Structure 1
Amino acid sequence: MTAIPLNGETDPTRRAIIAAMNRLFAGTPKRSTGRLNVSQLAIEADVQRWHLTHQHQDLKDLFQARAAADEAKRVTHVREQDAYQELKKKYADLKKHARLLEERLQLYATAVNLLSLELQAVTERTEDTVKVRVMPRRPRQLP
């Protein structure tokens, strides 16, 4: 977020408040916890809270508007991160499933190839296969 310029502010209280706002938005507080609320802004600026709520309402409103925009960006970023993590998980699951399908395909291709070779050996009548006779099956005897 861009810093708020001092633009010729002569009032030391306003200068302190603007400098405190810039530090809070930059994430480098000196006196406060760094939370983006009016109470922490007053602590960071080293002024009484009533200066913000009664004397410098324009700065308070500007701070609250920027804090709300910053929070909205953070929420959007968190939502995007969650969606990204979910997509990564789905991608990993799909890769695992694709590997399983490829393994099955290889197994089935091998089985089909063997069956076609066996069929070809039984159905072809070449010089070598003529010598092979298929023996009739014995009827199964009951005990």
Structure 2
Amino acid sequence: MTPPAEAPIDQVSPKTAAALRAAMARLFNGRPQRTDGRLTKENLYKEAQVSRATMNRAHAILAEWDAHIAAYGKATAGEAKRDATIADLKKRLATKTQECTLLENKLKAAHTAIAALFHDNQALRQQLDKDASATVTPLRHRGPRQRH
């Protein structure tokens, strides 16, 4: 049986630990003051205004950082919102693309039907012209009918 792992202990001053925790909170909340806000350890030590070596001695804080990143990913609140917006826009685009494809197919079908009707109309007009040129016997007009 292995003994339980000991909780990591920070080997930094309380002031440094407080600066790192404040920097971590700002980064997680998407409100950086000194960096671009990406959730990287480089931004953590820069945001806290400590050296990388000093940050590396803050074992408990780094364990919290790693746990948060493992649970929530490296996306900041703004990035997560942006990603959700992009996903929504992609979904809406796919829906509109399907609608356009359906309408395009209906338009092609209507085009085919109109072309067939036009062809039939032309054939009927030609038949009518051919029949009109045949000999027509006029009917004699008898005048108004009288009623008895």
Q: Map of 1:1-143 to 2, 5 A cutoff?
A: 11-55=14-58, 56-65=61-70, 68=73, 70=75, 81-82=89-90, 84-112=92-120, 131=136
Q: What is the percent sequence identity of the aligned residues?
A: 24
CA distance in 2, matches of 1:116, 1:33: 75
Q: Which runs of 5+ in 1 are unaligned?
A: 1-10, 123-128, 133-143
Instruction: Report the structure number with the largest CA radius of gyration.
Output: 2
TM-score by length of 1: 0.51
Displacement after TM superposition at 1:31 (Å): 0.8
Q: Which runs of 5+ in 2 are unaligned?
A: 1-13, 138-148
Q: Look up the equivalent residue of 1:45 and give its one-letter code.
A: A
TM-score by length of 2: 0.50
The residue number in structure 1 matching 2:5 is none
- Alpha carbon RMSD of aligned pairs, Å? 4.1
Greater RCO (Cα-Cα under 8 Å, separation 6 or more): 2
Report how many residues are paired: 117
CA gap 1:46/1:90 in 2 versus in 1, 3 angstroms: same
CA distance in 2, matches of 1:27, 1:93: 41
The residue number in structure 1 matching 2:9 is none
Moved more, 18-27 or 41-50: 18-27
Displacement after TM superposition at 1:18 (Å): 2.9
CA distance in 2, matches of 1:57, 1:25: 14
Q: Look up the equivalent residue of 1:28 and give its one-letter code.
A: R
CA distance in 2, matches of 1:18, 1:74: 26
Q: Look up the equivalent residue of 1:70 and give its one-letter code.
A: A
CA gap 1:14/1:67 in 2 versus in 1, 3 angstroms: farther
User: SS where residue 75 of structure 2 aligns?
Assistant: helix
Q: Which has the higher helix share?
A: 1
CA gap 1:113/1:107 in 2 versus in 1, 3 angstroms: same
Moved more, 66-75 or 95-104: 66-75
